[in-house]
Structure 1
């Protein structure tokens, strides 16, 4: 079968299409014919070696995390799925990839595709949906009436996290460019800052939670808008010692991550806030709950562009340019 494969780490020429063996599934896995695969910013970071200390890939490795498709084979111990089921899943951090014609998916990572979504829409959901769910419900424990700041509201994470926060009853603040103000308002954002015209830290106040999605000094600026007792969850770092401990890393990495996060933790404590770094984990049962929200249209997918499988690298380049409104998806099987 054909797959987009990471051959070696490097800034250029790291990815190439290859003919690889169709996966052989384990007893607790399903084999999925991939109909579509969602792209995520980390798909552009991994080939450059940015995550070598954290993610262990056995090269050559198939790229991609998010997928939707149809089950064509089930392992002996699988009970939740059968051949012919339409599913979606995240394979992130599982040592396998979704930018391929077929993928072996652990049963625990998959959920039935919401019937009201097509395969492209479903493939856009897993990573942004699970990241938002784990950040807002587990780490932040967002409650009705609280204020949540989600910067970059028109991006993949932003478009989903705004909707989930609103579903949880929160008031949502965000940033975006002039062209996307109406989009984020349509998703439920209450306070919208056009970053081309003003600085969010000069306007917003009294926030209970911040979702860190922007590199640079965005986290430090966000600490100016929170109130005492707030929670700051970062998706872009710096990683902290708690993250290193949770992944069983050695003493050296624990020490390095504690140094990297020392400044932001200190600044957060000065505001009586809690800081943590979140690394999303695949979870089929959480994905099924997210699917229920999608099925009832309480949350809707936002897809910017769809690229055919042969143009997957062009899709990655488009995503890396940073102008996508919502998600970028690669389509393997045409409807």
Structure 2
């Protein structure tokens, strides 16, 4: 089968197309024939080795974290899935490989494709959906009636996070580009701040939570609008000691992440705020809950219109690296 892999970590954003064997499955796994795989900024981090302290991969590595496909074979201990079922998944962090014609995946990491999505739009849903779900429920422990602000939330993450947050009964505020205003309000946002006209830190005050999609440069501005006792959750800034403890990482990694995140922890603590970092994991049971939200709210992720196949993998990777996408970039098999 064709697959896109790297032979080593590298600053060059490129992968090689190779022919490798179709994987065999264990009793707890299913073999999935991949229909569409999504390309995320996480792929760039995997290529460059930027997240190897969180997850260090053996080489060569087949890339790709998120896909839709059809179940081709079912392991002896797998229930709830049969050959022919359309599924979607964020692959387990320790065993990625979506950029291939077939993938063996733990059945606990997959769920049935939402009825309102096809293989293309479905590929844009699991990773951001799980990030939003785990962020709101596990990291922020958000409760009905509280307020969450998502700076830069007009992209693919916001598309999933806004309706999930609304389904939980939260007040949702988003900042982003003027072109995404209508779409984001239609998705359920209560307030939209056009960053070309207004500064969110001059408008907002005393919010319960911020989910940061922009990174370290925004940290102090984001802190300034959170009420004491609130939390700042980042998808971008830096892992900290709490993240390492929650992930069950070894002591030496807890020390390293403690050092890396200490300046952010200190700044947050000074204001009576907790700083959290998230690296989303696979979870089929959570995908089941997300599927209900997707279907009930008819959430359809925006997909970049550029047509890519596995042969165009490097063009697709570089489009994602450029940041100039018009929705989730996908490759079709």
Question: What TM-score do the two structures reach when normalised by structure 2?
Answer: 0.94
In the alignment, which residue of structure 2 is the partner of 1:173? 173
Asked if the contact 2:148/2:171 (under 8 Å) is kept, the reply is: yes
Q: CA deviation at 1:130?
A: 0.4
Aligned positions, number: 332
In the alignment, which residue of structure 2 is the partner of 1:330? 331
In the alignment, which residue of structure 2 is the partner of 1:251? 251
In the alignment, which residue of structure 1 is the partner of 2:152? 152
CA distance in 2, matches of 1:204, 1:304: 32
CA distance in 2, matches of 1:72, 1:123: 18
Q: Deviations over 1:283-325 (max 9, x none)?
A: 0010011111122235332223353322232222222222334
Asked if the contact 1:153/1:175 (under 8 Å) is kept, the reply is: yes
Q: Deviations over 1:126-166 (max 9, x none)?
A: 11000100001222222222110112122221221112112
Secondary structure of the 2:304 match is: strand
Asked if the contact 1:66/1:92 (under 8 Å) is kept, the reply is: no
Secondary structure of the 2:281 match is: coil
Q: CA deviation at 1:109?
A: 0.2
In the alignment, which residue of structure 1 is the partner of 2:211? 211
Secondary structure of the 1:201 match is: helix
Q: CA deviation at 1:14?
A: 4.3
In the alignment, which residue of structure 2 is the partner of 1:320? 321
Secondary structure of the 1:305 match is: coil
Q: CA deviation at 1:260?
A: 1.7
Q: Deviations over 1:252-291 (max 9, x none)?
A: 3222211221122122222221111111110001001111
Asked if the contact 2:14/2:317 (under 8 Å) is kept, the reply is: no
With 294-303 and 157-166 compared, the bigger mean Cα shift is at 294-303
Q: CA deviation at 1:59?
A: 0.8
In the alignment, which residue of structure 1 is the partner of 2:23? 23
CA distance in 2, matches of 1:150, 1:205: 14
Q: Deviations over 1:149-201 (max 9, x none)?
A: 11212222122111211222222112212332223222222222222233211
Q: Deviations over 1:94-152 (max 9, x none)?
A: 32310110011101000011122100111111110001000012222222221101121
Asked if the contact 1:65/1:90 (under 8 Å) is kept, the reply is: yes
Q: CA deviation at 1:92?
A: 4.2
Q: Deviations over 1:24-61 (max 9, x none)?
A: 11110000000011121111121112112221211111
1:88-167 equivalences in 2 (<5 Å): 88-167=88-167
CA gap 1:293/1:306 in 2 versus in 1, 3 angstroms: farther
Q: CA deviation at 1:328?
A: 1.8
Secondary structure of the 2:108 match is: helix
CA distance in 1, matches of 2:96, 2:158: 26
Q: CA deviation at 1:13?
A: 6.0
Asked if the contact 1:8/1:14 (under 8 Å) is kept, the reply is: no
Deviant stretches of 4+, over 4 Å: none
CA distance in 1, matches of 2:247, 2:180: 37
With 80-89 and 192-201 compared, the bigger mean Cα shift is at 192-201
In the alignment, which residue of structure 1 is the partner of 2:79? 79
In the alignment, which residue of structure 2 is the partner of 1:39? 39
CA gap 1:306/1:106 in 2 versus in 1, 3 angstroms: farther
CA distance in 2, matches of 1:190, 1:45: 33
State the Cα RMSD in Å.
1.7
Secondary structure of the 2:143 match is: coil
Asked if the contact 2:117/2:300 (under 8 Å) is kept, the reply is: no
CA gap 1:144/1:325 in 2 versus in 1, 3 angstroms: farther
Question: What TM-score do the two structures reach when normalised by structure 1?
Answer: 0.94
Q: Which runs of 5+ in 1 are unaligned?
A: none
